[in-house]
A = this chain, B = another copy of it.
Amino acid sequence: MTARIHPAHFTIEAMTAYLSEIFPQAGIGETFFVEEILPMRAKMRLVFDEKHLRPGGTISGPSMFALADVALYVAVLGEVGRVKLAVTTSLNINFLKRPPPADLIGEARLLKLGKRLAVGEVAIHSAAESELVAHAVGTYSIPAAKRD
Q: Which residues of A contact B (CB under 8 A)?
A: 1, 22-23, 25-26, 50-56, 60-62, 65-66, 69, 84-85, 87-98, 111-112, 116-117, 119, 121, 123, 131-132, 135, 137, 139, 141
Contact = CB atoms under 8 A, between A and B. Distances in A.
Contacts of A56: 85
A137 B139 contact: no
In the assembly, how many copies of this chain are there? 4
Contact of A112 (B23, B52, B132, B139): B132
A69 B93 CA distance: 12
Contacts of A91: 61, 65, 92-93
A121 B123 CA distance: 11
